[in-house]
Amino acid sequence: MDNNRFILILSSVASQTIKELSIRHRISELDAARSFYKSKVYKMLEDEKTKFWHFSYMSLCMMYDEEQEKGAFSIPEET
């Protein structure tokens, strides 16, 4: 995938994920963004080779929440 297309997809998925995290955790979108951008889940998402951009924002939220709770997260199996 070309870099410009990947950046657009990354921005869209990250934005949806941050909005959902803000709602779930009853925090501002800015606080949700700061926390999400520091996470291991985001580090994986921003690496095009991992294909994390294929996951829905809901799956990314679940992985993020698991990481926050346990310090690590499991990757959902594709169906």
As for how many domains the chain has, the answer is: 1
Is 79 inside a domain boundary? no
At a CB cut-off of 8 Å and minimum separation 6, what does 74 contact?
63, 66
Q: Report the C-alpha gap between 29 and 40 in whole angstroms.
A: 19
**The pLDDT of residue 1:** 75
**The pLDDT of residue 2:** 84
Domain membership of residue 52 as a residue range? 3-70
**Residues for the chain: how many in total?**
79
Is 76 inside a domain boundary? no
Is 75 inside a domain boundary? no
Q: Report the C-alpha gap between 59 and 17 in whole angstroms.
A: 9
Burial of 4 (0-12, 13-18, 19+ CB in 10 A): exposed
Ranges of residues in the chain with a pLDDT under 70 are: 78-79
**The pLDDT of residue 26:** 98
At a CB cut-off of 8 Å and minimum separation 6, what does 63 contact?
41, 55, 73, 74, 75, 76
Is 36 inside a domain boundary? yes
Is 78 inside a domain boundary? no
